[in-house]
Each structure stands twice: as C-alpha cells, then as structure tokens.
Chains A and B, each alone.
Chain A
Amino acid sequence: MIRIENLTKKYNRTEALKGVSLHVPAGELFAYLGPNGSGKTTTIKILTGLAVPTSGEAWLHGYHIGRQSIEAKRQCGLVPQNINLDNELTVYENLDLHGKLFQMPKRERAAKIAELLEYVDAADRKDSPAKHLSGGLRRRIMIARALMHSPKILFLDEPTAGLDPAIRRRIWSLVKKIQQGGATIFLTTHYIEEAEFLADRVAFLDEGKIVALDMPQNLMDRLGAWALDRIENGAMQTRYFRDRDEANRSIGGQDDSFSVRRVNLEDVFISFTGKKVQP
C-alpha cells in the first residue's frame, strides 16, 4: 500500500532523510516516531507531494509519487501538522472546497459532508467560520476534510499536538474508527503512548534514519518486561528485567530513589538512540 525505497532528502547541506525504506501493507496503522527534526514530517511531505525527494522512490497504492503524482495524490488524505483550515470559510465551505479539488460531483460532496460531520461529531458546526472553532474541533474538521474523497491512505502528521489529554483520546477513538473502516493510516507523533495505543507497527526515526521497526510489543520484548529506574550519581539509570521479581531482587537493601515499572516504547527509543522522544 505504501512502499518507500531508499528515500533521501537534502535541504542545502542538511540531510533530513538518509535512505529510508519501508513497506506499510493495506489496512495497517503505522506509527512513525521520532523527536522533532528527525525527518517525520519530511517523509510525509514527500509522500503527499508537498516536497520533492533528493533521491529514492515511493509508491502509494501502486502509483509512483513522481511519475504518477496525480493518481498517487488521489489515493491519500493529509492532515498536516499545522492547522490549515481556511479561516475565512465556514466548516461546510472548507469541506466543499476540498471535494471540488478532488473533482467530486456536487451531490456527492453534499452527502459526504453531512456524513463526515456526523462522523466527527460536528454536524451542528457546519455553518461556523473555521476561525471560531476550538483547537480540538479544528483537528476533527481537518480529519473530516482529509476523508472527504474516501482516501485509501490517511497521513496524520502529529494530529494531537498541543491538545489536552481528553481531546487527544477523542481523536484516538476517531483514528481507530477510520482504520476499522479499511483505511491505511500513516501516523507521525512524538507521543509515545499514542503510538502504543494505536499502532500495529512502529518505526523509530532518528536523524533521518529508521533505527527500529516492528510491532510495539516485539520492540518492548527485546528489552524485557520491567524497567527499574534509579538515580545513581545524580543521573537516571534504567535497567531492564524479564520479570518483576528479578527487578525487585536487584534493588537489594539500598535506599536510593527508584521505581519499577512496565517497559514502554520510550525505553525502546532511548535504548536505540540514547535520546528521549521529546518535541
């Protein structure tokens, strides 16, 4: 469904992507994790036609993003990181414009707008100017807009950035619902728990390279099931254990500050890169 081969991107002297290759099968919810500047948005921009790769190739649903760009674009919907609703237009007009850009007939556009506004729980806001919407509602409208032309692939670039936890969870439910509808979802995020909750598979991107790619549980199992965090000489040290007893035994009689917890994806990322996934 999404096939990327050896994708690179240079901005002047900066190498934003250094030979990324991956394959996302149909119906998968794929999370692309990494700190800001790791190349997540650049990858999405290239795949959706907003940027040109320096080298490498990619296909969306079998269509080459360069040679068959128009067909490739028809396959995908994009929810970019920046809020990019047209502030001068109402919610309805924003969605209608998107439908026009994707050459949808008028009657089909009207029906789809009504359906999608119900879907994202915003039917009562159809005549509201976009500039009067809250942050969470804007995100939901942007998702609805990206779904207008029934794309086979949905790119979500940091869809919950800056939202409060309750609204974030509401967006997660919506994303799950979209996946259950049959779409392939390519999600970038720096919220580890978002990827853990949503993703079938995750890739960790660091400085333009994929450093790990697998199912979340498989990645965590590589480290162990339990983590012991301990402050030693003023610095946090983490050790991983197969079971909790083993972790508890290693604490011994020392009275240092410590905590025992489940291994998470952040541990995986740190163990691969030595960095935290932070914005």
Chain B
Amino acid sequence: MSGMLAIYYREILILRKKFFRQIASMAVSPLLYLVAFGLGMGRDVRVGGHAYLEFLIPGLVAMSSMVQAFAIASEINIARFYWHIFEEFQAAPIRNIAYVTGEVLAGITRALFSTLIILVIGFFSGVTLAYNFQFWLAVLLNSFVFASLAVGLAMLVKSHSDQALLSNFFITPMAFLGGTFFPVDKMPDWARTILHFLPLTHASSAIRAAAFNEPADPFSYLLLAGLGVALFVLAFQCVNRARE
C-alpha cells in the first residue's frame, strides 16, 4: 500500500509542478475539436435527436480521458529511458503490483482532470448534460482500461520513439473511430462490426448514454471492466519481465 502511494505521490508531484502546462495541454485538443467540429458545424446540426455539440461533448470526454490515461506511458518512459528513475523503483522494496497500481491510479487521475476540463469547456459553450454516477463510472472504467494498457506497453517498448509509434497506430485511430465525432451506428455493417471491438466505442456509447440520461448497455460497462482487469494483469506481468 505504502509503495503504491509512493509511486502515485511521485506522479502527482510532477503533475502539480507542471500543473498549468498540463492543463493547457489537456485543454488544447478538445478545444480545437470543439471549435472545428462543434461550433464549425453550427447549432442546427442534430445527431440522434441531440444538438451536435451535445453529442460531441461526451465523445470528447471519452477521447480525452483515453488520451490522458494513456499519456502515463510517456511519463513512465521518460523516467525509464532518460532519467533512469525506474531503477530506483525496481531497487525499492515494493511489490510490482504496488508499482502498477500507483501508475494506473496516476493515469486515472490525469484522465479525470481532463474530463473536468472538457466539462468546463462544455459549460461555457452552453452545454449541460447529466453527470451522474453512470457517467463517472464509464469515465473511470475507460481511464482504467487505457492507463493499464499504457503501463503494460511502457514496459514492453525499448525506446521512447517506439512509444510514439504505438500511439500513432492505436490511440490516434481509436480517437477518431471510436464513436467520438460520429455515431458508429451510421457506419456500414462491416465497419460497425470492426469498430465494436474498440474499447473506446463502448466507452463513448456508455458515457454518451449516461450524459443523455438514457439507458446504457450494461455490456459496455462489463466489457470495459473485464478488459481493464485483463490489461492490469498484463501490465503486472510486463513489469515482472522488465527486469533484465
């Protein structure tokens, strides 16, 4: 427990030191998307019975929480490859599960911050949605999935550039195709089948349903929880294997 808190403390300390930079960096992409897709398309465009801006905000929450949770991988890699701080953690009397939990919690914290930023941006854009328990649960599960994936992959990559490659191949396509900007149901059957394998599709759908006070598909929550646990176990195995 104390080992996990030490790992979490270090990440939060760094987040605090770079707070305004981090907030600005978390806000810039959603703001651009909001301006480009939301305001740019006008308030008259409606999707699934809602104004496009209302449709977009939950999608941006899903996307941004994914990106920020996954960004913990970059912090881990900087610590591993540039500053060699990972050695300090490896030599400490803490269990690998404590390390993984601390880093995953740090990823979730970043994701929650980014969600709050989008909600504030949404509020100033005149969008108010239902931010109920199901909404936050879906955000939390989405963050859990991608923070766990980030820790696992950060242990597998051999350099910081490999990490960027993984982001380009997995996270960026998912950000655009996972129901963030358009309803997946409007896609052709073959594309819809593929996109339903993406965890972000389920996260967007669950977050959006909760935000609109509509009944959510419990399968999405179960899938995110199951995948999150599986990726957490994988991350634990990867930390074990990170020793030379």
Contact = CB atoms under 8 A, between A and B. Distances in A.
B121 interface: no
B95 interface: yes
B83 A84 contact: yes
Interface string B1-42: 011011001100110011000000000000000000000000
Nearest to A83: B84
B182 interface: no
B88 A50 contact: no
Nearest to B79: A86
Interface in A58-94: 70-71, 73-74, 76, 78, 80, 82-89, 93
B95 A70 contact: yes
A86 B243 contact: no
Given A97-B9, A103-B2, A73 B244 contact: no
Contacts of B91: 48-50, 73, 76, 78
A244 interface: no
A71 B92 CA distance: 10
A176 interface: no
Contacts of A103: 2-3, 93
Nearest to A11: B244
A49 B88 CA distance: 10
Given A93-B13, A97-B9, A100-B6, A86 B85 contact: yes
Main secondary structure of the interface of A (DSSP, over half): loop
Interface residues of A, number: 29
Contact of A88 (B17, B84, B95, B243): B17
Nearest to A131: B83
A11 B244 CA distance: 8
A117 B36 CA distance: 53
Contact of B244 (A52, A76, A101): A52
Nearest to A101: B92
Given A84-B83, A86-B85, A103-B2, A49 B13 contact: no
B87 interface: yes
Given A80-B84, A100-B2, A71 B93 contact: yes
Interface in A88-138: 88-89, 93, 97-98, 100-103
A51 B243 contact: yes
Given A97-B10, A100-B2, A84 B84 contact: yes
B85 A100 contact: no
Interface of A: 11, 45, 48-52, 70-71, 73-74, 76, 78, 80, 82-89, 93, 97-98, 100-103
